[in-house]
Each structure stands twice: as C-alpha cells, then as structure tokens.
Amino acid sequence: MTGHSLMKVLTIAATGILTATTTWVAAADITGPDVASWQHPGGGGINWFAVRAAGHQFAMLKATEGLDYVNPYFVSDSLAMRVAGVARGTYHFARPNLPPEPQAALYATVVLGQNGLLDLPAVLDLEDSAGLPPDALIDWTHRYLNTVQALTGRRPIIYTYPRFWQTAMADTNQFTSYPLWIADYRGNDQPEVPGGWPTWTFWQTTSSGDIPGIGGAVDINVYSGAQGDFGGYANIPFSGSGRGSS
C-alpha cells in the first residue's frame, strides 16, 4: 500500500469514527446485527457503511468455533467495520466436548485483543452442552471465561438463551458478574432473564431482521445501557461521557 493510499484509508476511518461518535451521544436505541459466514452468501461482502447509515452502531462478529474453525470473513469484516465506524464485538462458539483453555487461546489469537478503538469485550456463545452434565458444563464455562479475561484484559460477555441456561446450566447464578447477552424472540417488552442476572446487557430480539448492506435475514440486537455509556463500553474516542464498566 502506498503512503497516499494508507493516508486515505486512515482519513476515512477517522471520519467514520467521529461520525459514529456524534450519533452515539444522541442515539436513543443502540442496535446492531450479529454476523457470521452465513451473512456472506456466495462469498459476497457486507456493506458496513450501509449498516452504519441505517443507524446500527455495533455488530457482533463470529471469530472462532471449537479448536479448528476461524470465520473466513473475520479479518475483512473487522477491517471494514473499523473504517465504517461500527463498533466490533467478537464471539467464540463454544464446543464443550473440547477443553476450554485452548479454545480461549485460539479465540484470543485470532481477534488480536479486544481493547482497541471501537472494541467491545469478548463474547462466549454458549448454546451447546455437547452432552456435559450441568456441573461439568459450569466448570468448563468458568475455565473458559477466566482464560479469555486473562488474555484480553476485559470481563467477557456471555451469550445464551433462557431455556438452555435453565436446563443445561441448571439455572446457575454463578455468572451474574458477567454481562449477559440473551436471545429471546417472543416479542415481549423485555426478555426472560435466567440465572439470577439482575438485568441483561444485550438482547437478541430476532433472527429474521432486514438490514441494508447485509444479504438475507440477520439477527438484530439492542444494548440496554447496563454497562453504562455505550461510547465508553465500546472504546469510542471523544464520546463525551463517562466510561462504562468492562
């Protein structure tokens, strides 16, 4: 890349970040999709500028799964999100039949940290018990989260859905210190919150959303404000308000 081209990319990125920052301060609803390779039908790309222009301030991006899967679009989406000014959350899809520490290490290696500009904390996507009984799955989850927090320096987010937590995790309340991203598509005013959590941080409200710039149906999520100012939580510069907890 030439010096001129690099300067152009940096200028575009800075403009996107500053534009996003102005909108975040005034936004009443902080929303965003979560995406994986499924949102690249036929190998097509996502237009992250269109996503941002439609009012979505963040996106959750699948990074890894188990011990040997890396989303082939992770790097390109990460870079394009940065340039467009879309805050990036990244998640690992848990395979509890495999040891947690190497999975955490794979995830942390691929995402190269979650402490940069426009970065949300790491997410553990927990929706498959792999046949483990609750006590073993609870232990697996503690070990994974402890490892990821040590590697990224931020307290991770847990993604799950109510029925899974109530059954596979025996509705344990051992994880209430972690932010909760809950999937609940029943159309209620608030999602069902399992496991003794006092509140939710992100709510996946639908799996059939329609967002400009993304081909096909996509999950849509909303931020509750539980971790404080979104600008602080997502490491957005010049947000003009206090940092949320991490």
Catalytic positions, written as ranges: 34, 125, 127
Residue 126 neighbours by CB distance under 10 Å: 25
Tell me which residue of 16, 7, 17, 13 sits closest to 231, measured CA to CA.
Answer: 17
Element (H, E) at 80: helix 74-84
Integer Cα distance of 224 and 193 in angstroms: 13
Are the beta carbons of 52 and 15 closer than 8 angstroms? no
The CB density around residue 132, as the number of other CB atoms within 10 Å, is 16
Which tokens hold the place of 73?
Answer: 């679009």
Q: Are strands 218-223 and 202-209 parallel, antiparallel or unpaired?
A: antiparallel
Supply the DSSP symbol for 105. H
Strands 119-125 and 218-223: unpaired
